Amino acid sequence: MQVHQVFVSVFVCVTSNMALRVVGFFILVCISIFSRSLTDASLEREKTLAMVKPDGVLGNYTDEIKRVILESGFNIFKEKISQLDEEQTATFYAEHSSKSFFSSLIKYMTSGPVLVMVLEKENAVADWRALIGPTDARKAKNTHPHSIRAMCGLDSEKNCVHGSDSLQSAQREISFFFNEMSSDEEVTTHDEL
């Protein structure tokens, strides 16, 4: 009888120990899955608008720019070539309408086709802005010599590329080129030409 009691005691002890290990393993798996989902959510990919302006398209820089984009970890989600008219350009750059350079900006942006792309990457807006460099291509050549504007831009107007300056601008600009813009959509300002 005592052997039987010892056997039962050992069995209960071993079974309890295994149960604790199984519960512990289950908790670790749950924590791992939960933390992975939090990490995945924090690494959500952004989309931003990238435009190669007429001087970039006509200067045959598009292949080189796309190569740099891809090598920098971006995915080109969508792209199209478009010829902007004066009305489209005035709408896209509406926040600059009161500035002295507005008419020359319209003339420049309608002088040839543009390549419009939706780029996708974690931190896409900021990374694209860093890759293109300062608005003034002359400054970019000195301060950011490996930037896209240093590679193919001429000055602050003919600077080869455009990049959204915020997620809100990116959403508006992507909608402008790849969807119909609703008539009640507010045009928000951005600093970028």
Give the active site residues: 162
Angstrom distances, CA of residue 20 to CA of 14, 15, 29, 107, 167: 10, 9, 14, 74, 48
**Residue 76 dihedral angles phi and psi, to the nearest 5°:** -85, 100
Retrieve residue 4's tokens: 């039987």
Nearest one of 191, 140, 144, 183 to 164, comparing CA atoms: 191
Residues 169, 190 contacting (CB under 8 angstroms): yes
